[in-house]
Amino acid sequence: MNPKIVLAVSLAFSLVPALVAHADPPAANQDLEAKPPLLDGTWVIKSMEQVGMRLEGEKLPVSMRGMTRIFDKQRLTIKRLDREYQCTFTVDNDKSPKHMDVQLQSEGTTPRTLKCIYEIKGDTLRLAESRQERPISFETDRTMRRIIVYTFTRQEESD
């Protein structure tokens, strides 16, 4: 083998660790894994379940029909009837199921945090939430009065 080629290859491989060690660290706001692009978009309610009862379509409470959750990077907008709530949220995708905390503040009220778990399968988002303890599954029964499980479908983007 040509000694010049061996020297060049050996030099190249010896520089890789040095280049990686001196690479710029990711920006503080760059949290790509924490906020997967799959979550971004508009999600429309399909059903909700509480105390073991699942409601969908016309059986949903009037206040929930047509509810949307719009995720855009670190912002979440919840639209329900004629009201709109601006929220922020954080996720922890290292947990199973994935965790989400939604910081909600309505005008004139004390801020509160909704503790959630979520999963996305295709164009379906399941979100279990509680104001008190974080849900551990997407199932509810009569003993879980404070946990609501929502199923949303992704709204098609119009051009």
Locate the domains of the chain by residue range.
Answer: 41-154
What does each C-alpha distance from 155 to 38, 45, 49, 149, 159 come to in angstroms? Answer: 13, 10, 21, 19, 12
CATH of domain 41-154: 2.40.128
Q: pTM score, two decimals? A: 0.73
Tens-digit pLDDT profile for residues 17-39 = 333 333 344 444 444 344 556 89
Burial 93-132 (b: 16+ CB within 10 A, else e): eeeebbbbebebeeeeeeeeebbbbbebeeeebbbbbbee
Tens of pLDDT, residue by residue over 59-88, are: 999 999 999 999 998 899 999 988 898 999
